[in-house]
Amino acid sequence: MNTLLSLLNYHKSMHRVIENNSDALDGKTDLTAALLTYAATTDRLTEITSGLVYPVSFVRRERVTYTQQLREEVRRMSDLGSLIAKKHNDGVLLSKMRQYRTMSYKLSSFRLFESAFDIADVLENFSEDATTVGFTVEEVTAFRNLAQQLSESMSGIRGQLDDRRSSRLEIRKLFKDCTALLREHFDPFVRFNGKVYPEFAATYNLLRKRGGNRRKSKTTDTETGEISGNVFNSATNEPVANATLTVADFNLLVQTDEDGYFIFEGLPASAYRIGCTAPGFDIPAVQTVNLAAGESIDVDFVLIPVQPPIVNVPT
């Protein structure tokens, strides 16, 4: 995110320098149009970037709250299910409810709301026992609604991650557009008219060198590409932060941010083998991609959590 903001500030500064010397563009319709396009592009970049400043983790707080509440309710409702099972001398149901209670401490959010729906289905089938066992139908309905809220919260998080990914893709395109406008319109103009507008040229070139050169690849004669993507938890559909991505044989390493996002930039055309590891997850298969010059390739990893040991619950 810091790199993105730094690059945005660079283009906004370049725009101010050109705009402050717009008298040099008087009568030059192509350059005036290019400046308007540059301004509109930087404005759009500012708009999109503002939506990415805060990581999606703040959205997860709602999910965490629902998960904590649902764990407590799963334990409570599984106890209710045990009471019903004992009343009907149903050993299978009793074992099932005890297992739900035990596993509620370890279940992922996804498995948790699935278990809650299962328990609610069972309890609703024994609504005639409400008075004798001591519960109300409304309690079971509220329990199901809480599970539904967690389910919708998790779906919302994935939806927001998809939106943020689309925003990142648009940002990358807009940055390329900004660079192209400078390179194709303003760089040659400043070089040709440097003696006519020396102050403009000096300020422009100084900022251009400071901001533009740092993003040039060491292989300046070859257009480079990039590989980016997201890492997700298969059990929850949530992003995995601080996962480590490696490019085998090239000694490259990056980590995912709080959105589970990563990017390798400035890569020459070649075949790349991308690996991924994260604590608490099984190691997925290495993915091989063939990157062409100037190409952007998306590579996602869906990690499977390491399974906890099976707990045998006595009947």
Residue-wise pLDDT for 268-291, tens only, equals: 899 999 999 999 999 999 999 999
The per-residue pLDDT for 217 is 43
Assess whether 170 and 221 both reside in one domain: no
Read off the pLDDT of each residue in 283-302 and give the average, rounded to a whole number: 88
Mean pLDDT, to the nearest integer, of 201-227? 71
Instruction: Verify that 178 and 281 share a domain, yes or no.
Output: no
The better pLDDT of the pair 230, 33 is held by 33
For residue 1, is pLDDT > 70? no
CA nearest neighbour of 301 among 288, 284, 289:
284
**32 and 166 within one domain:** yes
Residues 116 and 229 in one domain: no
Q: Do both 79 and 97 map to the same domain?
A: yes
Regarding whether 210 and 251 lie in a shared domain, the answer is no
196 plus 249 within the same structural domain: no
Residue 61 pLDDT class (50, 70, 90 cuts):
low
35 compared with 2, residue with greater pLDDT: 35
CATH code of 252's domain = 2.60.40.1120
Phi-psi region of 266 (alpha: psi -120 to 50; beta: other; left: phi over 0): left
Residues 25 and 52 in one domain: yes
Six-digit token string for 55: 């990581």
Question: In Å, what is the CA distance from 125 to each residue of 89, 118, 280?
Answer: 16, 11, 38
- Per the structure, the complete domain to which residue 247 belongs is given by 217-307
Whether 231 and 141 map to the same domain: the answer is no
Indicate whether 314 belongs to any domain.
Answer: no
Task: Return the amino acid letter for 52.
Answer: L
Last residue of a domain, one of 198, 216, 234: 216
Length of the chain: 315
Query: For residue 312, is it within any domain?
Result: no
Q: CB count, 10 Å around CB of 3? A: 10
Residues 106 and 178 in one domain: yes
Is residue 315 one of the residues assigned to a domain?
A: no
**232 within domain boundaries:** yes
- In this predicted structure, the answer to whether residue 197 has a pLDDT above a threshold of 90 is yes
pLDDT, the chain, mean: 86
Work out the average pLDDT over 232-254.
86
How far is Cα 128 from Cα 84, in angstroms, rounded to an integer? Answer: 11
Q: Which residue has the higher pLDDT, 236 or 77?
A: 77
Residue 114 tokens, joined: 């699935």
Do 285 and 210 share a domain, yes or no? no
Q: Which of 216, 243, 273 is the last residue of a domain?
A: 216
The residue among 216, 245, 271 that closes a domain is 216
**How many structural domains is the chain composed of?**
2
Q: Which pLDDT band holds residue 221 (cuts at 50, 70, 90)? A: very low
pLDDT at 220: 44
In a domain, 262, yes or no: yes
pTM of the model: 0.54
The DSSP symbol for 112 reads H
In sequence order, what DSSP letters do the residues of 277-302 get, joined into one string?
A: E-TTBPPPPPEEEEEPTT-EEE--EE
